[in-house]
Amino acid sequence: GNLHYYRIHSCKRAGPLANEGEPREDRVIVTDTLEANGKGHFCRLTIDVFGKVDSITYLGGEELQVESLWSLVGLSETFLNHLFVRWEGGDIPDIVEFLTDEWATALFHDRFMDFCLQIQLEMRSQDEVKAIIDRALETVNLKEGLSRKLLASIQLQLPKSSIKAMQEHLLEYLRENTNHLKTYFLPDN
């Protein structure tokens, strides 16, 4: 038939390192609205132990932009509007429809990855932030991976000035790209 199939996955290391034990299995998200006539979508995402999108498999009658799918691999699942928790709760019957909704527009913008890298570099340049993250990562158990509880704990420890700086960078990014990202509400300066 006229179905399109895409499979994109990240590179994985060969296996667990010494003394790591067996890491937690990837979390798998599957939605299937594909009908016999080719309408709808089958989509499968895996989220790795660190909470990042590890792979995407798609089968459906609709041709998708491969670059957009590719840009999702490696992103934190929290960037995807807490996809796993919302899917697990039954809020997301179709991953493709969910990711093509207006809230996700910024994820596929050509400057989004540059924005993420800028935030990452700025946070790494702050000794206090780097120390908080390093201490937290020392406690990560590979069998359990990064938990939402650990991420929330890190966020609570971050200096208010760092959080404010990240928020300001986000608003600046949205303002600079408002011609493509029209659906986001931006507070006045």
Over residues 14-65, the pLDDT tens digits come to: 455 434 555 557 889 999 999 999 899 999 999 988 888 999 999 999 999 8
Q: Which residue has the tokens 């913008």?
A: 109
- Kindly state the tokens that stand for 22: 């067996």
pLDDT at position 188 over 70: yes
Among 36, 44, 32, 45, smallest CA distance to 3 is for: 36
The structure's pTM equals: 0.73
Identity of the highest mean pLDDT range in 55-64, 122-131, 137-146: 55-64
Among 174, 86, 116, smallest CA distance to 183 is for: 174
Give the start-end residues of each E strand in 50-126: 53-60
3-state SS of 146-160? Answer: CCHHHHHHHHHHCCH
Distances (CA, A) of 5 to 14, 158, 189: 26, 42, 45
pLDDT at position 132 over 70: yes
**Residue 104: count of CB within 10 angstroms of its CB:** 15
3-state secondary structure (DSSP) of residue 54: strand
Q: What is the pLDDT of residue 12?
A: 66
The pLDDT tens digits of the residues spanning 71-86 come to: 899 888 888 988 988 9
